[in-house]
Structure 1
Amino acid sequence: MNKNILGLNKQTSADSVEKLNGLLANFQIYYQNLRGLHWNIKGKNFFELHVKFEELYTDSQVKIDEIAERILTLQGKPLHTFADYIENSSVPVGKNISNDVEAVELVVSSLSELLEIERVILDLSDTSDDEGTNSMVSDLISEQEKTIWMLNSWLGK
């Protein structure tokens, strides 16, 4: 039998798990960047951005859990070590960023990278009738596109 317990093709589900683990790794780097930005932001926009970065990292924690649980639902094993996250991520790492513009630009570039990964997963889940993954990733994309628009507006772009 080529189908898993969910009625999805086993190989396609394995491919989805691999892609979702990549997304999970990238979200973990994004999350850690947001923590660092929250802690280290300085300047006239401190209060506004300190709160915004906390809002974003709190939201990311929820998303990370949803992604890991989707991997488990597809009968995969979520990555869970920092070594795995670093090895499987392409989101830029932000270190010692305290400047407001540089911080917001890092968030925008990180979200843009996540969107690229998510669109690949969306295509895969669409062609494999994996509505659970498709729905989750579609929601991520919609939210992140709006966040990019808002942050770009803050940047004056």
Structure 2
Amino acid sequence: MSHITIRPISTEDLATCAQMMAQSEPWLTLGRTYDASYQTICDPAKEVSLATDKDTIAGFIIVNMTGAFVGYIQSVCVDAAWRGQGIGTQLITYAEERIFRSSPNVFICVSSFNAGARKLYERLGYSVVGELKDYIVAGASEILLRKAIAPLTTFSPSVDQ
């Protein structure tokens, strides 16, 4: 059994992660190229964390803590060889712990054709709050989901942010 460590991304990991994203679903269907993936991962406004087993990158997660949806999980990407082993759940749990220190809400979108990911998010306690039809590609929707621990008006951020 593997031992997964979650850590911040380093410069040496950028190309591997961009390639992993550009060569897998849902990003293939969404038309995400290597260059667009690389640009997303390099965005200094995003927090990118890796799931690794020794020197092997099993997956990564991108979190946005700014903008209209503070606490938005922008992407969860697990390498095809590591899928079905709980890596996505570990990454999401890690992101939730980070987000819930600062915000009472975690948001995530899932493509309408990505039934497996949607099932995972709902199993982890996310509820559908909206649908963006034809948002990225024609004929598909992005489903907005939310997991909350408190209303905004009663939430107090942790002091150790």
Q: TM-score surpassing 0.5?
A: no
Q: So what's the TM-score if we normalise by structure 2?
A: 0.31
Greater relative contact order (Cα < 8 A, sep 6+) = 1
Relative to its length, the structure with more strand (as a share) is 2
